[in-house]
Amino acid sequence: MRAKSPNPPTRIRTKVDRDCDRQEEALRQGGNELRAQNERFVAAVETMSHGLAMFDADERMIICNRYYLQIFRLDPDVIKPGVFFLDILRHSVDIGVASQSAEELYAYRQEFIGSCRPATYEEVLADGRVITITHRPTAEGGWVSVYEDVTEKRRVEQALIEQIRRFDAALGNMSQGLLMFDADARLIVRNDRFLDIYRFGPELVTIGQTYAEILGRLSALGIYPGLDAEREARIIGAAMEAGRTYSVQRELSDGRTIAVSHRPVASGGWVSTFEDVTERRQAETRILHMAHHDGLTDLSNRVVFRERLEQAAAAVQRDNYPFAVLSVDLDRFKSVNDTLGHPAGDALLKSVAERLRGCLRASTDAAARLGGDEFAILQPGISTPQDAGTLAARLIETIGRPHELDGRQVTVGVSIGIAVAPMDGDNPDQLLKNADLALYRAKREGRNTYRFFEAEMDATVRSRRELEIDLRGALLRGEFELHYQPIQDLGSGRINGCEALLRWCCPKRGLVSPADFIPVAEEANLIGPIGQWVLDHACTVAAGWPDRKRIAVNVSAVQFQNGLLSQNVLSAIASSGLSPDRLILEITETSLLGESELVAHTLMQLRSMGVRIALDDFGTGYSSLSYLKRFPFDTLKIDRSFVRDLDDVDTAAIVRAIVGLAGRLGISVTAEGVETAAQRSKLKRLGCNEAQGFLIGAPMPEAELFQDRRRRRSWLKALPK
């Protein structure tokens, strides 16, 4: 309200005066309004979340807000309305905010100032902050600039871009195919590997499709044979809803296997991965096969065979369904390996396995290689044990036929032991053990044959094992001694020499026959040192005998095989001083089997030293007369079984024939086991050169050889003939 004047004017107020007053009032009111508006504008500018500066046509600043000053760290005492834009730039350079010179910044800005179009651009400050500047020309020829610090926004954007780039790279380089579905089961991500795996074009699987649609397509194209797409999609949907991972392996129509896994994600929806596991599956199958089969023959291995045996054993208890276990072992396989080499040995094993398989009923019988040249067969459903015998005979016949190995024909024998469940055992261990015992018997009784398990075999083997244990320390404990049995010349009646026969005086068992312990010593690899002891001892004793009497020493076939015989003989002769021609080595026909070259070579070496060779027990073994021609023998010892049956006309004829043949070959003949004077006379008549037996003298310790006068004389003079 206007204040009233105490003295009213005297002049009458005209209309003009009143108009003037009204105008004045209007102006005053307008000024007030403008001020209020201005104040509101300044307040609005100040509270803006962006920086703002306004310039007039002369590029002088009209107004700016605090945020503008803060962004550019401008000094409010310098930057005031009226300051030139260029001076602001210079000030920002002076305080080190700008990253370029004021002139460069100004030149850049001029483009926008000169144009009347709005523009937005970015400026990077010296400290790395990024400022977005929005430039708007004003009607008066000036402009308004709005400034925003977008540093953080740009950093987040950059990080997001980087993350997306990495995600893309990961997706593109995954060995697995990947599909990602949103909460509505619609496809949102798909990598190229997925298309590769299913050999799809990108148009077949597109963003927005549902999994059921994709499955439907796979099924319609025949890629997933026999798949119910709807049902499968329902199963997956239910699993995802329950928060469970759902994994399956799918066989494609082209034979490949794809491992598919669906995993729910926290934000809803799920990720499906697809991996081609064909090779892994094949490798797994191969490894599984290898774990269950023998690599060389592809027969089952011991583990699988045992499982089959266990199943059969369970069935026999339940249903009384008898079966047989055959333990199969090749005869003298080692000599094939040693003479023809391991590759030939392997080829032979393969060929044997093939024939073995051919003899079985594929659907029921099971065959396995248990190691080396050991095989085993399970023959279920037999009606009588003889069914197993028939199979064994067929195996022996089939495997015994020549095998063609690398253009060479190789023959191998096979020995088989049979145990029949339930009578020979009701568990795998017992049956295998009993089949082995029967096999052992088959081996001992001539090989290339089969034997059924018999209860007493077990006891035999156990006692043999105990014998072996006792035999091991016998040499060191000095439990061996030699007995000597005289050999008489049937022409002169004189004693030509003695055969050394080994005796084992076991403290536990008493005197053990060599027939019992020599085979055990051979098997247990003890014959080498024992044989050497016999040779050394016999040669030393005989060296002291009068009248150049000879000593005959028995040599085991195993001593031949280790190739050390010549060396051992040489060392015995050298250390005893015995003249080599006083030593006779008695070998049996088994020594001649197998590696004939090594045998012939050893015999030649021994002969060249002057040592004599006798073929012992002639007539009991293979009795191949061809041996007599092939190997250089000095003496042939006719087995005592012939002497015993000498009254038999045929036996006498055989002895006569042997003596005749030997005579023609320049070989002397000694008859063993002569117990009666009648036998001796008959043998003499048949042409035998020497006799040995209880009639002339039983084996005796050395001291007894010269004990009484009669014996002493007999060494020097002829005994009664």
551 binds, among ligand C2E, Mg ion, none (CB under 5 to 8 A by kind): none
C-alpha triplet 296, 419, 315: angle, nearest 5°: 90
56 near ligand C2E, rule: CB under 6 A:
no
702 near ligand C2E, rule: CB under 6 A:
no
Give the footprint of ligand C2E on residues 519-538 (CB under 6 A): 534
Q: Which stretch binds ligand C2E (CB under 6 A): 311-319, 465-473, 510-518, 681-689?
A: 510-518
699 binds, among Mg ion, ligand C2E, none (CB under 5 to 8 A by kind): ligand C2E
Q: What's the alpha-carbon Rg for the chain, to the nearest Å?
A: 57
- Give the separation between CA 630 and CA 628, rounded to whole angstroms: 6
* Among 673, 682, 705, 719, interactor with ligand C2E by CB under 6 A: 673
Q: In the complex, which residue's CB is closest to ligand C2E?
A: 693
486 near ligand C2E, rule: CB under 6 A:
no
Q: Which stretch binds ligand C2E (CB under 6 A): 54-62, 159-167, 272-280, 551-559?
A: 551-559
- Give the separation between CA 643 and CA 686, rounded to whole angstroms: 11
Closest CA to 503 of 528, 547, 538: 538
589 near Mg ion, rule: CB under 5 A:
no
Give me the least distance between CB of 383 and Mg ion, in Å please: 46
Q: Which long-range contacts (CB under 8 A, 24 or more apart) does 674-682 make?
A: 674/640, 674/643, 675/643, 679/643, 679/646, 680/490, 680/721, 682/646, 682/652
Q: How many residues bind ligand C2E (CB under 6 A)?
A: 22
542 near ligand C2E, rule: CB under 6 A:
no
Give me the least distance between CB of 286 and ligand C2E, in Å please: 51
Give the footprint of ligand C2E on residues 269-288 (CB under 6 A): none
- Give the separation between CA 686 and CA 681, rounded to whole angstroms: 9
Q: What tokens does 320 get?
A: 């009384």
Q: Which amino acid is at 584?
A: I
Residue placing its CB nearer to ligand C2E in the complex, 418 or 555: 555
586 near Mg ion, rule: CB under 5 A:
yes
Residue placing its CB nearer to ligand C2E in the complex, 382 or 674: 674
586 near ligand C2E, rule: CB under 6 A:
yes
- Give the separation between CA 194 and CA 680, rounded to whole angstroms: 100
Is 639 within 8 Å of 619 (Cβ atoms)? Answer: yes
Q: How many other CB atoms are there within 10 angstroms of residue 714's CB atom?
A: 21
Q: Which long-range contacts (CB under 8 A, 24 or more apart) does 281-288 make?
A: 281/249, 281/257
- Give the separation between CA 318 and CA 311, rounded to whole angstroms: 11
487 near ligand C2E, rule: CB under 6 A:
no
Give me the least distance between CB of 301 and ligand C2E, in Å please: 39
501 near ligand C2E, rule: CB under 6 A:
yes
CA 399 to the chain's CA centroid: 30
438 near ligand C2E, rule: CB under 6 A:
no
Residue placing its CB nearer to ligand C2E in the complex, 415 or 588: 588
* Among 148, 276, 489, 617, interactor with ligand C2E by CB under 6 A: 617
640 near ligand C2E, rule: CB under 6 A:
yes
- Give the separation between CA 172 and CA 21, rounded to whole angstroms: 83
Is 76 within 8 Å of 69 (Cβ atoms)? Answer: yes
Closest CA to 369 of 381, 356, 387, 380: 356
591 near Mg ion, rule: CB under 5 A:
no
Give me the least distance between CB of 586 and Mg ion, in Å please: 4
- Give the separation between CA 329 and CA 629, rounded to whole angstroms: 33
436 near ligand C2E, rule: CB under 6 A:
no
- Give the separation between CA 420 and CA 386, rounded to whole angstroms: 10
Per-residue exposure over 22-36, b if at least 16 CB sit within 10 Å of its own CB, e if not: eeeeeeeeeeeeeee
* Among 272, 273, 556, 635, interactor with ligand C2E by CB under 6 A: 556
- Cβ within 8 Å of residue 75, ≥6 positions away: 69, 91, 95
* Among 275, 617, 690, 702, interactor with Mg ion by CB under 5 A: 617
Distances (CA, A) of 629 to 551, 589, 606, 608, 652: 25, 13, 17, 18, 23
554 near Mg ion, rule: CB under 5 A:
yes
Q: Which stretch binds ligand C2E (CB under 6 A): 4-12, 57-65, 561-569, 672-680?
A: 672-680
- Residue with tokens 């064909």, as numbered in its chain: 278
- Give the separation between CA 571 and CA 278, rounded to whole angstroms: 68
513 binds, among Mg ion, ligand C2E, none (CB under 5 to 8 A by kind): ligand C2E
Give me the least distance between CB of 589 and ligand C2E, in Å please: 12
514 near ligand C2E, rule: CB under 6 A:
yes
Q: Which long-range contacts (CB under 8 A, 24 or more apart) does 134-140 make?
A: 135/109, 138/54, 140/56, 140/57
Residue placing its CB nearer to Mg ion in the complex, 65 or 554: 554
148 near Mg ion, rule: CB under 5 A:
no
Torsion of CA 428, 434, 435, 441, to 10 degrees: 170
694 near ligand C2E, rule: CB under 6 A:
yes
502 near ligand C2E, rule: CB under 6 A:
yes
Give me the least distance between CB of 499 and Mg ion, in Å please: 5
* Among 470, 616, 690, 702, interactor with ligand C2E by CB under 6 A: 616
616 near Mg ion, rule: CB under 5 A:
yes
307 binds, among Mg ion, ligand C2E, none (CB under 5 to 8 A by kind): none
- Give the separation between CA 612 and CA 522, rounded to whole angstroms: 23
573 binds, among Mg ion, ligand C2E, none (CB under 5 to 8 A by kind): none
3-state secondary structure of 721: coil
Residue placing its CB nearer to ligand C2E in the complex, 345 or 699: 699
- Give the separation between CA 81 and CA 661, rounded to whole angstroms: 147
121 near ligand C2E, rule: CB under 6 A:
no
Give me the least distance between CB of 637 and ligand C2E, in Å please: 7
Is 707 within 8 Å of 509 (Cβ atoms)? Answer: no
What is the length of the chain? 721
Site for ligand C2E, rule CB under 6 A: 485, 501-502, 513-515, 518, 534, 554-556, 586, 616-617, 640, 672-675, 693-694, 699
Q: Which residues bind Mg ion (CB under 5 A)?
A: 554, 586, 616-617, 672
